Structure 1
Amino acid sequence: MFLVKLRPDLTGTGVSRRRARWVATIVFWTLVLLVLVFVVGPDTFTHDATGSSASRRPTPASATKSSRPTVGVTMPRSAPTRLKISKIGVNAPFTPLAIGPSGALGAPPANDTNLVGWHAAGISPGERGTALIAGHLDTVTAPAVFARLNELTAGDSFEVMRADGTTAVFVVDSVESFSKDDFPNRRVYDDTPKALARLITCSGAYDGAAKDYTENLVVFAHLAKKA
């Protein structure tokens, strides 16, 4: 709360009343500003280094069902069991992944070269929304399940076998790499009325100091049919 110190009235009652009204106006708008800061949130008023308005970074937890009408082919929720990408020789089982304390999606166990993970609390592959599927590029000893993911191109397809006995067939829309320092969260984790999937792995140069790759490769795909 702000305190406004008033000077004594040196010119009479009229001036005093005008000053009182002026002070009351300042106090009123100060209170309005305080309400906006505490109710809307301080993040609304912050800016990034470029001067543009900053907003909370979307995370995979944002990848939930859209309230808009469903568009295109969709399937009911069912956990994925196996991923097959015939073009690059992928035939791997799934493991569930969760969001970590930093807000990032966890990774499959680092010592398994033939395992993919999915955001188990999010959208299942084939369900309306954006399903997230992650896999390693390599391990300490050998290439891993997504070592050849960058060979996919628009028009290629892959299959996700599901626990309910059905198969979701996806078609690739694009394959793109992004710096981990400038990752397009909102685009990757679309809130969408369609059934989409994202295959995600590491790419770019290896940073020995950080012990991590500098980029992420993302395959953008849509559900083409169910079998």
Structure 2
Amino acid sequence: MPALSAVLVATAALAVLTGCSSAAGTDAPRSATPPPAATTTATTTTPAGASRPVAAAARPRPAAPTEVAIPSLGISAPLMTLGLQADGTVQVPPPDQRATAGWYTGGAVPGEAGAAVIIGHNSTRYGKAVFYRLKDIATGADITVTNARGQATHFTVTAVDSVSKKSFPTQKVYGPTSAHALRLITCDGAFDAAGHPVDNLIVYATQT
């Protein structure tokens, strides 16, 4: 696979969103390109006996994820796809779909090298949401992501962090990594004058 250091994450922009009383906010990269599909080379021999490299077929990316589950918290939720908004910040699931989390398509596909990012609401104006209990997750907990082919990939939680939205660690969350990594993001912390949480909760996990 090409070096992941070639994947660029541009300067972050603070998302202006409606908070976890109505939506989950993240500080997101303006651009994040998935690693290109890997190619391999094989060696073949010409009739004259000389060897020459022949490009093999590109290795397909894993199927898109469709479900995330955290058994220790009783969480099991479908996944929608999320892209970028016009201002370059990452989309979040609509507030009225509070039971659905979203996979950011600009990151890695769960199961391949790189950082896969899943975002879900803590709560919305419609009530408690998919990641309401995410703050209770423990280091070592299992997170299972199932894809469109029914294949399950397991991740183990390595760290949990609560950070101010004003100092969101964009590079750490979205930046290139050779690990098969997963990040879950939701809202956290106290509320500002407008009733929106001022922090994000970030769960870091690696493939088991």
| TM, length-normalised to structure 2 | 0.72
- Percent identity between matched residues is 35
Matched, 1:59 2:59: no
Q: Residues of 2 paired with 1:177 and 1:90: CA distance?
A: 20
User: Which shifted more, 100-109 or 128-137?
Assistant: 100-109
Amino acid in structure 2 at the alignment position of 1:196: A
**Equivalent residue, structure 2, for 1:35:** none
Instruction: Indicate the RMSD between aligned Cα atoms, in angstroms.
Output: 2.3
Residues 1-227 of structure 1 mapped to structure 2, 5 A cutoff:
56-57=11-12, 59=29, 61-62=31-32, 64-65=34-35, 76-209=61-194, 211-224=195-208
Q: Mark the CA change 1:66 to 1:186 in structure 2 (over 3 Å): closer, same or farther.
A: farther
Is the 8 Å Cα contact of residues 96 and 118 (structure 1) preserved in structure 2? yes
**Which portions of structure 1, spanning 4 or more consecutive aligned residues, are displaced by more than 4 angstroms?**
none
Is the 8 Å Cα contact of residues 34 and 106 (structure 2) preserved in structure 1? no
Q: What 5-or-longer segments of structure 1 have no aligned partner? A: 1-54, 68-74
Is the 8 Å Cα contact of residues 67 and 145 (structure 2) preserved in structure 1? yes
Q: What 5-or-longer segments of structure 2 have no aligned partner? A: 1-9, 13-27, 38-59
Amino acid in structure 1 at the alignment position of 2:150: G
Is the 8 Å Cα contact of residues 63 and 130 (structure 1) preserved in structure 2? no
User: Which structure has greater helix proportion?
Assistant: 1
Q: CA deviation at 1:82?
A: 0.8
Is the 8 Å Cα contact of residues 65 and 192 (structure 1) preserved in structure 2? no
Q: Residues of 2 paired with 1:156 and 1:208: CA distance?
A: 35
The answer to which structure, 1 or 2, has the higher relative contact order (CA under 8 A, 6+ apart) is 2
User: Which structure has greater strand proportion?
Assistant: 2
Q: Residues of 2 paired with 1:198 and 1:56: CA distance?
A: 19
Q: Mark the CA change 1:216 to 1:60 in structure 2 (over 3 Å): closer, same or farther.
A: farther
Q: Give the number of the structure whose alpha-carbon radius of gyration is greater.
A: 1
SS in 1 for 2:171: helix
